[in-house]
Chain A
């Protein structure tokens, strides 16, 4: 009736061969570059299912049979972490990609200044925490074999369980070595393994759901029946333990982030951040489906199977009880998948950590005298050390299983293991959100938390016959009650796991924070801290290497040995061409060295890569001085650029000014030409008359009267010429600023009086002048002779040009805004708007020359004089006639 054992082994082997083929095919596809479906979010999501180990596949049902609904907390924690991906996982994945992180130990070591000490610490913690867990997987596989063996009609009762475990371990080691260390992938990604894991994820989900559906609809007969079965079962009355409910949810969430195998699939194997977005809901769905039928299976098992049946194996024994061989086989394969996928990923993760943080540093320091450039293929060494590590990890697991005897204590090891690896959580979370998190803090926190965990949970878990005696457990060491391992500091009454998680996390976090606050991190650590915490701001790197003293050739030799000749040469060549050089040897700039180090870190871990590059580049990478220099450089560049900007602004201003001046000069040149032609014209006219009339005078047959007349004309023209020359001289003196002013005290009325008197004699014109004597009673202190000259000019102009029937000039005096205004407004036609702008120019005459009788220099001279006196003379538009305004600063 039972399945022959041979067939079982055969199916098992066939399944393993199938997995080999899947992994092989995926690896081949990936290496051919056709790996587009490998990046599918579905594959990523399914690969996360390594969280669900045999412990959860078989153990959840047993857990439910013992403690009711509490088993679900193991899935709730990861669910919360996944739906909260925007907080932590997104950042972890980004950091993992930016820093080429190879494992959780690498992340911690890289964050805290590429400290290998921390890497070793985390590696040891992971090994201690994971080894029992691997043993647990071996145990579950052997137990499931044993179930079939017991059910078989005989023939292989003698099958040695321990030998089965050994063969399983050997098989797993083989598979892992084959696909986990095929190549020293720069990204530490294993497409083959991930794909095989995804297939196994489907198998275990299908298996568990098949058993569940069989139980609900096949055995119980429907959902209502199963509900009443639950109500009648021993677990119907759920006595919730609040501490365990909350504590285990927290613990599973923490472990989900910190378990080496989870970190491997979550961060290291992540190809694309978008995978995470899908996994954020798809993986909780997977977990939900995995736990959906756990309670029905447990209840059915408790109902129909004998009371001494192991509830951990209900998933197998129930189908066997109902003689469902196929279902039992499927269930067995599900459990087998759970166990193998966990062991494979965990041993890959652990071997990476062991090889990068323990083997490589030892090898490096052993040949530190020879340097990293000595001959020999490091890739080979790294791969060998990984393979040996995988073997060692599995051997450790097997030995643990063998010597612990596979007893019931092992079943509890799942949570104990969770609590152990969760000690990395404070350093991990603190490292990505808090720049002040320091290496010393992380180290002290890890050690303290690890010690508390070992003391309160790990060591007591071996039982009273183990390392701790019963007497010590009940009374504490040396009779010190407050040191009792399960009631530390008098905190009794708690569940041991919750108690241990509480104290270890509290002490761990506290020590981490306090020591971090007190310590002063090294420059490299602070650089790394900034890059981790602000990973979304600058995914690019800052410089870690300040001096490029390394020989490019040495670096190439080393890189070839780690990355492989082709990859290294491609990298170097690309860098050289970026720098504009031919060949394979770029300048060893800090940028290049930092990039190279990151590439190497993808293969051997940050700390080792840093150490190897350090051997070639020479000693310390970053000193405070270097940092300061970098900061100074930046500062200098900023300053320099702002200086340049200022200079440029200045240049622009100067250029603009120059062009303005140039324009003015051009205009002046034109003006000068105009002036010259004007002045020659002005001089030529009287000269022509003088020459003509003097020629007439030379002819002697002129009568006296005619002679007199011509002489008068010549005289008049000469006077005009003299006046013109006087004016020109005056203007020239004024314009050159050589004029001497003779300021004196004199009331304004006197000055006006003089001006009016001078003009009345000058032109005898019939212009009436209206004045306001009271307003004119203002004392002046200025060159009143010059001022009078201006007034004379304005009055004479009015007298000359006012065409009104009864010409009249009004002189208005007022004081406003600290200036004295003297307006000369006549009642004539005024000056047309288009001419107003030019009347103050030299030789500008609006009417014809004869009427003016001047050279057109009067207003120009007025303007120059007023300029010299500190006032102005302007045309005042909008009055009844022509209006000029003279302003003077009010005398103090």
Chain B
């Protein structure tokens, strides 16, 4: 029973749903990259606190908005089941 019984092709709705969950998986990595930007400025002497303050909060709000859109769509498409069956297979690897 080792070969996955997942179908090769999915209906449009399921396909969309998987891509949304892909996006949800990638979002934290985008967050890490953006939040670690100040590191690139390190060692260049003084940096304006006010500028970075604005930068951090703009990134923060943007991430929140994207996360809200993604989580709403994820919750809407699978109202009773938050996870599509079979995703666990990927999770397990």
- Footprint of B on A, CB under 8 Å? 68-69, 72, 76, 79-87, 90-91, 94, 227, 230-231, 233, 235-242, 245-246, 249, 273-274, 276-278, 280-282, 284-285, 288, 292, 295, 433, 435, 533-537
Contact = CB atoms under 8 A, between A and B. Distances in A.
A741 B41 CA distance: 107
A240 B35 contact: no
Contact of B53 (A76, A86, A87, A230): A230
19 contacts: A69-B52, A79-B60, A79-B63, A80-B28, A83-B31, A83-B66, A84-B28, A230-B49, A240-B39, A241-B42, A246-B39, A249-B35, A284-B60, A284-B63, A435-B92, A534-B92, A536-B85, A536-B87, A537-B88
B52 A238 contact: yes
Contacts of B53: 69, 230, 295
B14 interface: no
Contacts of B31: 79-80, 83-84
A7 B87 CA distance: 57
A91 B91 contact: yes
A80 B88 contact: no
Nearest to B80: A274
Given A249-B35, A534-B92, A535-B88, 5 more contacts: A79-B31, A231-B50, A237-B47, A242-B43, A278-B75
A277 B49 contact: no
Contacts of A90: 82-83
A73 to B, nearest CB: 8
Contacts of B88: 534-537
Residue in B43, B67, B86 whose Cβ sees the most chain A Cβ within 10 Å: B67
A235 B47 CA distance: 10
A666 to B, nearest CB: 47
A238 B49 contact: yes
A436 B64 CA distance: 35
A274 B92 contact: no
A536 B49 contact: no
Interface string B31-70: 1100110110111001111101100110011011111100
Contacts of B36: 245-246, 249
Contacts of B42: 240-242, 245
Contact of A238 (B32, B47, B57, B75): B47
Contact of A83 (B49, B63, B83, B92): B63
Q: What 5 pairs between A and B have smallest CB-CB spacing?
A: A536-B88, A84-B28, A281-B68, A237-B46, A281-B67
Contacts of A292: 57
Contacts of A72: 56
Contacts of B8: none
B68 A295 contact: no
A86 B75 contact: no
A278 B71 contact: yes
Nearest to B81: A273
B41 A240 contact: yes
Contact of A236 (B50, B61, B64): B50
A534 B68 CA distance: 27
B63 A245 contact: no
B49 A235 contact: yes
Contacts of A239: 46-47
Given A68-B49, A246-B36, A246-B39, A83 B91 contact: no
B51 to A, nearest CB: 9
B41 to A, nearest CB: 7
Contact of B28 (A87, A276, A288): A87
B25 interface: yes
B25 A86 contact: yes
Given A80-B31, A83-B28, A245-B39, A295 B89 contact: no
Given A79-B60, A245-B38, A280 B28 contact: no
A240 B63 contact: no
Contact of A536 (B46, B63, B67, B83): B83
Interface in B4-31: 21, 24-25, 27-28, 31
B83 A94 contact: yes
Contacts of A534: 88-89, 92
A237 B87 CA distance: 47
Contacts of A282: 68
Contacts of B27: 83-84
A87 B25 contact: yes
A120 to B, nearest CB: 29
Contact of A242 (B39, B74, B92): B39
B92 A80 contact: no
B90 to A, nearest CB: 9
Contacts of A236: 48-50
Nearest to B87: A536
A69 B39 contact: no
B92 A433 contact: yes
B74 A277 contact: yes
A292 B71 CA distance: 24
A238 B55 CA distance: 14
A274 B41 CA distance: 39
A84 B41 CA distance: 26
A671 B86 CA distance: 63
Contacts of B63: 79, 83, 284
Nearest to A280: B71
A451 to B, nearest CB: 29
B57 A288 contact: yes
B64 A238 contact: no
A26 B58 CA distance: 37
Contacts of A277: 71-72, 74-75, 82
Contact of A288 (B24, B49, B61): B61
A42 to B, nearest CB: 14
Contacts of B72: 277
Nearest to B49: A238
B17 to A, nearest CB: 12
A433 B91 contact: yes
A159 B89 CA distance: 61
Residue in A233, A238, A282, A533 whose Cβ sees the most chain B Cβ within 10 Å: A238
Given A84-B25, A537-B88, A284 B67 contact: yes
A583 to B, nearest CB: 35
A94 B85 CA distance: 13
A536 B35 CA distance: 31
Nearest to A76: B35
B68 to A, nearest CB: 4
Nearest to B83: A536
Contacts of B64: 83, 281, 284-285, 288
A65 to B, nearest CB: 12
Contact of A274 (B52, B65, B75): B75
Nearest to A240: B42
A227 B68 contact: no
A827 B71 CA distance: 88
A69 B56 contact: yes
B24 to A, nearest CB: 4
